[in-house]
Amino acid sequence: MKKFIQVYSISLSSPVKIVKEKIEVVDDENRTLLYRVIDGGLLNYFKHLKGHLSVTPKGEGSLVKWSYEYEKASQEVPKPDMVKEFVVKTLQKKE
């Protein structure tokens, strides 16, 4: 499998403007994706951040499960709620 990098921008109101991720595993059969953040503003807050995404067909749509593993850069850094909010908004059903 070819590994690839994706770069995206987050909203202007976010303290993080750019995120660069490396897709490490794409498993089409099990509909899962593993990635890690390799550059961008999130690394000012977290030493590392890895994500796992899985998709399961459900009715006329799909159920998406997302989990993440992280290590804060310091004790003062809050949990990565900004990441969670971005992912939820991105994955919500679009009409």
Query: Nearest Cα to 42, choosing from 92, 5, 91, 84?
Result: 84
Q: What is the pLDDT of residues 7-63, one digit of tens each?
A: 766 665 667 778 889 999 999 999 999 999 999 888 988 999 999 999 999 998 889
Q: What is the pLDDT of residues 62-77, one digit of tens each?
A: 898 999 999 999 999 8
Q: Are 35 and 49 in contact (CB under 8 A)?
A: no
Question: Which residues are registered as beta bridge partners of 4?
Answer: 23
Q: Please name each of the domains of the chain with its CATH number.
A: 4-91 (3.30.530.20)
pTM for the whole structure: 0.76
